[in-house]
Amino acid sequence: MSRPSDKHLRGPRISPAGIAGKETVSDLIDNTFLAYNAGRLREACQLFVRQVLQPDVTVGMSLTGAMTPAGLGMSSLIPLMEAGFVDWIISTGANLYHDAHFALGLSLHQGSPFADDVELHAEGVVRIYDIVFDFDVLLSTDAFLREVSQHDQFQRPMSSAEYHYLLGGYLRERESALGLARRSVLSTAHDLDIPVYTSSPGDSSIGMNVAELALDGNKLRFDVSADVNETAAIVLGAKRSGGKSAALIVGGGSPKNFLLQTEPQIQEVLGIDEKGHDYFIQFTDARPDTGGLSGATPGEAVSWGKVDPDMLSETVVAYLDTTIALPLLTSYALSVHPARPLRRLYQRREALMAALVKEYGASREFRDQRATEATTTR
């Protein structure tokens, strides 16, 4: 048998010191998360602070799973947002709906996943696995959403980012009235001018309440085309400013695709020259072999133009529970990297869209000219 080549044995030797009980989170991740999905989590954390948080990188986050009911909004998302570590967000509507409970002073409780659901239903208790809360929490939040969405400023079509920004302002007012602070992702996003989109506006209790108001003549409508184009404009703006674009994917599902499809929208549909997102970090429990988008790898994303093929080495997928991964990533990043200046992308949407439209116009003119030349030479 020939000797193994050095390239296979050049990694650090596995020889950790014993855990003493005084280690910080960053100590544990750097020094004891050495293999398997612990190793991938370490790689994700290190890539995040080493490359993704560079000053010229615009960070988009997608969020699925019931994160906010479990308190992840307050414990992890808001600290990342305040530190300038997340510049724009795509979330399920459900996460944003449940986020509103906390700004309204409503309570969710730790419970048991083995509770009798028939008994819970009879007593008016709702369960999300091991989280429980009174059914009135839903009714109170529904009433708030309907009241707010009837105000004059909502009586028109708008992107989901604009709706969430306006809603976040009302949630901030309610927090202040109740003496609360930094309870809601949406109210924080409003303060920090972080645009928050949802890829399926009708697929949540927010969309359900907006649909109910439509039956009474309310003119609020979600403009999904604006969402598609605004998110593409954010990514194009990141690249055209000489910077890079990062995708931080918590879970999978529709928000993951909506974040990544910005590049095919730019390249394939609008015909603008681009190469793909530069960084890709995902925490997921979805397998790739079932063909679902949630488990699709960054390599597969390259084939769609979603990820720059030259940057494939700067991608990590860690297969683990996102409720474990996200707090660890947050603690690691905050402990080893200084805060970044806020990009306040919400207030820059019009300028970013104008730049996208200009490039699209030039691309369209070039394609039309080529088509004319091809027809003439036949």
Report the C-alpha dihedral over residues 153, 67, 181, 81, rounded to 10 degrees. -80
Q: Which residue in the block uniquely carries the two structure tokens 């030479």?
A: 377
pLDDT along the chain (378 residues), means of 10: 74 94 96 97 98 98 97 98 98 98 98 97 98 98 98 98 98 97 97 97 96 97 98 98 97 96 97 96 93 89 94 95 97 98 98 97 84 69
Flag whether 305 is in a domain: yes
State which amino acid sits at residue 51: Q
Alpha-carbon distance of 27 to 156, in angstroms, equals: 51
Beta bridge partners of 349: none
Total domain count, the chain: 1
Flag whether 245 is in a domain: yes
Alpha-carbon distance of 360 to 162, in angstroms, equals: 23
306 is a catalytic site residue: yes
Reference 48, options 322, 277, 336; nearest CA is 336
User: At a CB cut-off of 8 Å and minimum separation 6, what does 124 contact?
Assistant: 134, 135, 136
CATH assignment of the domain containing 107: 3.40.910.10
Give residue 10's pLDDT. 87
Alpha-carbon distance of 263 to 244, in angstroms, equals: 12
Give residue 1's pLDDT. 61
Give residue 319's pLDDT. 96
Find the domain containing 57 and state its range. 22-370
DSSP assignment string, 225-290: HHHHHHHHHHHHHHHHTT-EEEEEEES-HHHHHHHHTHHHIIIIIT------BSEEEEEE---GGG
Question: Exactly one of 7, 275, 306, 358 is catalytic; which is it?
Answer: 306
Give residue 377's pLDDT. 65
Alpha-carbon distance of 126 to 366, in angstroms, equals: 56
Flag whether 9 is in a domain: no
SS3 49: helix
Flag whether 224 is in a domain: yes
Flag whether 101 is in a domain: yes
Give residue 5's pLDDT. 66
Flag whether 302 is in a domain: yes
Give residue 378's pLDDT. 62
Flag whether 2 is in a domain: no
